[in-house]
Amino acid sequence: MQKWIGGEDIQVEATTTVPTIRLDTFLNQMQIDEIDYLKIDAQGSDFDVVLSLGDRLRDCRKVKLEVAITPIQLYSGAATKTEVINYFTQHDFVLIRIDKQSHEQEENFTFVRRDQLYIMSDLAENLHTLEPELLIDLAEKVEDYEPLELVPGWHFDSGWESQKTPVRLRRIIWDEIKQRSLEPRISFTWYDNLKVFLYLGNDLSSQLFVEGRYDPNEFYFLDKLLSSGMTVVDLGANEGLYTLFAAKHVGDSGVVLSFEPSLREFQRLQDNLALNEEITNVKLLQIALSNISDTQLLKVADDAHSGQNTLGDFAYEGITCLSTETVTVRRLDDVLEELAVQCVDVIKIDVEGAEFLVFEGAKKTLERDRPLILFELVDQALQKQGSSTHDLLSYLRGLGYEIFGWGEFTGLPIKTTQESLPDGNLVAAHPSRFWNLVNNADQVRLLQAELEKAQAILEQTKDKLQVSQQEIVQLQSQMCELRDTLQNELQSTKDRFEETKAGLQAELQQNKEVKNQIQAVLEAQKNQIAAMESSKFWQLRNQWIALRKRLGLPE
């Protein structure tokens, strides 16, 4: 007690024997099936009460208990903070709030059963009390991914405002992490039980964590396209999402060549590959691709935009250069020849504006193997490295490739003959090779589906337009009625005004005549008073003269 602030005031007045009962026994006797909120304050025995629940802990939704955090416990044998947290964590509970008390010698912990997190309306108000490591632990517990499905019209952060409870929950946690400027690394389980590290400070990871998906249409397409034994080349692999996904799909008989020049991203690529020990068909190469063999300076973007590293200039505003690295630059044709790669089936490329240069350095491969290509098209980025959207599309079409955009209504590749296209991800396929979804038969079906969906939306729009037109007619009718009513009220008000005006004018004229009469009376009274005053004056004067005579005074 001497080690406890306030302990000197504690005195033992008496001891007594009291009955005790296990909490699970009590619940069973009282036929209580579930506890919505369990609050414990048992002076050092809080954890003993929790232990007395046994398996019935799973029937508690929310638990609050007190834990001393001093090196020396006030209550002999009381559980430590670590013991309490570990026990609840092992039983699928999440710590969502910590409140300090007793001169910060004790903390009240509030735990929520994991499946109850998704219905907590006040979670955002509680997160600020958590220590960083506990907040990060919570983030790891709620991470999840959306099903591998088509999401027509998807773009980065398009689903962040989703009303789905899991997405809203992860957004709340991510906002708290962002507000504190934390940049934690957490483990994330993805498609096909793949494991990747998420760095919650950067764009890619925040997108995967919050919405639970990234490039959903592209991965759905690859899922239908890739098969065992294929060779896939990932140019600009970043942290390795496409590399790992492809490796799973091409199997042990296939191979994935993964190129990433940035030291930071290459290390993360290695770490993610190491997380998936079962994957042995990936070859990592820390080099950049272009149309020459040389060394160049790579601009490394700040951590928040770590996927934007470039051999040119940054295409988007708000990106700062964290550092520069001298990197090896090679032609893809030369690298594949050295590696004795016989045939390339699929190329995914995202090299921040160097796409045209890379294709020039891969001309032999493109002409020989005619691989399917997934590529990013950003005109501003291309221009910063001496090419353009038009140049890139013309080059691929000159090699016999057909270009496919992502269907607005199906989310699948749709052939386009436009010479210029908006920024975004595209697919290039050579008609000499058969590919699922981009062959002629599938394209007819997809175009029909696009047309039907477009027609359905057009019909919906037409119906909405008709409803709107009816509403407009009703509003016009109501406006006409309102106009007539207002005009009638206006005319009535005008008539009342004229009547009031005439009455006031008549009253004014009458008042004027009364005023004149009053003035005449006043004037007459004034003259009368003056005459009376004058007469009185002469009377007094004559009396004065008469008095002077009697007194013998001179006049």
HSE, side-chain direction, 13 A CA sphere, residue 103: 6
- Give the SS3 label for residue 311: coil
What is the pLDDT, as a whole number, of residue 190?
95
> Within 13 Å, how many C-alpha atoms sit on residue 255's CB side?
11
- The residue count for the chain: 555
Cα three-residue angle 487-492-498, rounded to 5 degrees: 125
Here the tokens at position 3 are 């080690």
Residue 478, number of CB atoms within 10 A of its CB = 10
**Strand, coil or helix: what is 136?**
helix
Q: Of the candidates 284, 211, 221, 220, which has an alpha carbon nearest to the alpha carbon of residue 247?
A: 284
Residue type, 260: E
Nearest to 84 by CA among 72, 71, 74, 93: 93
- Provide the token pair at 61: 């939704």
Give me the pLDDT at residue 73, please: 84
Q: What is the pLDDT of residue 533?
A: 66
10-residue stretch averages of pLDDT, the chain, 555 residues long:
86 94 97 97 95 97 95 89 95 93 93 88 86 91 93 92 91 93 93 95 92 96 97 97 98 98 96 97 97 95 89 88 95 98 97 96 98 96 94 97 95 93 95 95 93 89 86 87 87 86 84 83 79 73 79 73
Locate 421 and state its tokens.
């296209």
φ/ψ of residue 285, rounded to 5: -130, 120
Q: CA nearest 213: which of 450, 373, 411?
A: 411
Quote the CA–CA distance of 138 and 97 in Å, as a whole number: 11
CA distance 43 to 4: 14
Q: With CA atoms as reference, report the closest residue to 205 among 230, 229, 170.
A: 170
pTM of the model: 0.78
Distance from C-alpha of 405 to C-alpha of 382, rounded to nearest angstrom: 18
Six token digits for residue 11: 């005195």
Please list, residue by residue across 497-518, b when 16 or more beta carbons sit within 10 angstroms of its beta carbon and e when fewer do.
Answer: eeeeeeeeeeeeeeeeeeeeee
**Over the Cα atoms of the chain, what is R_g?**
44
The Cα angle at residue 516 between residues 513 and 520, in degrees rounded to 5: 140
Q: Where are the beta strands (DSSP E) in 9-159?
A: 38-39, 62-68, 93-101, 106-113
Q: Which residues contact 543 (CB under 8 A, 6 or more apart)?
A: none
Q: Provide the sign of the torsion angle of the four alpha carbons 72, 76, 82, 84, taken in this order.
A: negative
Domains and CATH numbers, the chain: 18-116 (3.40.50.150), 131-214 (no CATH), 227-438 (3.40.50.150)
The long-range contacts involving 513-519, CB below 8 angstroms and separated by at least 24 positions, are none
| The predicted structure's pLDDT at residue 555 | 61
Return the closest-CA partner of residue 398 out of 375, 422, 419: 419
CA 12 to chain centre: 56
**Tokens at 113, concatenated:** 């059963």
- Span 124-148, pLDDT tens digits: 888 898 889 989 999 998 999 999 9
Neighbouring CB atoms inside 10 A of 419's CB total 11
The answer to whether 447 and 437 are in contact (CB under 8 A) is no
Give the C-alpha distances (Å, rounded to integers) separating 535 from 171, 523, 528: 107, 18, 10
Q: 3-class SS at 214?
A: coil
Residue with token string 């009282």: 30
| Sign of the CA dihedral with 402 first, then 405, 406, and 407 last | negative
Helix/strand/coil percent split, the chain, to 5: 50, 20, 35
- DSSP symbol at 35: B
Q: Which residue has the tokens 């820390």?
A: 286
Q: What is the 3-state secondary structure (H, E, C) of 7-51?
A: HHHCCCCCCCCCCCCCHHHHHHHCCCCCECCEECCCCCCHHHHHH
